[in-house]
Amino acid sequence: MAAAPVVLPRMKLGSQGLEVSAQGLGCMGMSAAYGEHKPEQDMIALLRHAVAAGVTFLDTSDIYGPHTNELLLRKVLQGGAREKVQLATKFGITPAREVRGDPYVRAACEGSLARLGIDCIDLYYQHRIDKSVPVEITMGEIKKLVQEGKVKHVGLSEASASTIRRAHAVHPITAVQLEWSLWSRDVEEDIIPTCRELSIGIVAYSPLGRGFLSTGPKLLDTLPEDDFCKNLPRFQPENMEKNAAIFERVSEMAARKGCTSSQLALAWVHHQGSDVCPIPGTTKVENLNQNVRALSVELTAEEMVELESYAAMDAVQGDRYHITFLNTWKTPRPLPCHPGKPLNWVSSESITMLMLRITDLK
């Protein structure tokens, strides 16, 4: 018997009035990072299927491709679909892999608007935090874009708790995007509590551990050499061998629950609270349908504890990233804002602070 269709609920994301589907769709893999090029028509069909199924919160960035992912979404937004979609895009990582938070944000925003073929971005994230520019200056520029009607809501990605507070003081932050899954839980110490204190929505990217929680170690056998995951510390053979035990236990529990391991892992994220929206990525309609059905998987408090015991912080081997700027909330804190000082002014105290933080991280 076919599984009953899941009615995808809606949720309030943050406290600024944004309403989205309770599960979103990460679109990066349709154009970049993961394996071989995907046929455009297949990706358009997938996106249209997602919107028809109620997955209307679509997540992209100007760096995906670069630019080609936004151009792909433009083709899906035509013909009346724009009114059904809550569209999130990002700025802050250039094609040269530089992190920028200076006033180039205006040019970045206008570029995204043109590629997407829209007049206003529903949720505009600073993709990574520029340590050389006080976040107050970046937020001041985004605030102008909001006032001009080019951006509705503002978000941050991979920002520390202190950066979130500083940015929120300039303009209300609607959502913070971060990596949160069964095997990536370090955000729970400071960042999640800060978001909840400030009534900021939480968008969990890579909720399936970049596919690990779906297929386990055999994922590596299917990846081409240029796949993004091939270079990540957790996916190196010496770490993957140890991390395999996590997947085995999750799979065993999923079998008991009558669901897939990916559905169980996604259900865990959904059970974190009504303020959390996971955005699993996929390039296959079948996987999208399975992900949506994760909303029907119920977990008791005891089962949540059991799941979390499988992937305790000390059980997961290898860092999330190997490139410092990609997990910027863990790197030295951004420069403080000094009112009345020019943008390129940096105090000797700031330089000393940064050097001490860098030394601590070595």
What is the token pair recorded at 223?
């990846």
- CB-based contact 155:123 (threshold 8 Å): yes
Closest CA to 72 of 48, 105, 36, 97: 48
Is 64 a catalytic site residue?
yes
**List 64, 124, 125, 205, catalytic entry:** 64
Beta strands per DSSP E along the chain: 10-13, 18-21, 25-26, 57-59, 86-91, 121-126, 151-157, 175-179, 201-205, 276-278
What DSSP assignment string belongs to 138-203?
A: HHHHHHHHHHTTSEEEEEEES--HHHHHHHHHHS---EEEEE-BTTB-GGGTTHHHHHHHTT-EEE
Rounded to whole angstroms, the Cα distance separating 93 from 140 reads: 19
- CB-based contact 326:243 (threshold 8 Å): no
Buried b (16+ CB within 10 A) or exposed e, 90-103: bbbbeeeeebbbee
Rounded to whole angstroms, the Cα distance separating 362 from 111 reads: 38
CA 37 to chain centre: 21
What is the token pair recorded at 241?
């061998």
- CB-based contact 152:146 (threshold 8 Å): yes
DSSP 260: -
Q: In the chain, what is the straight-line distance between the N-terminal and C-terminal CA atoms, in Å?
A: 56
Rounded to whole angstroms, the Cα distance separating 320 from 341 reads: 36
Residue 59, classed as helix, strand or coil, is: strand
Catalytic residues, by residue number, are 64
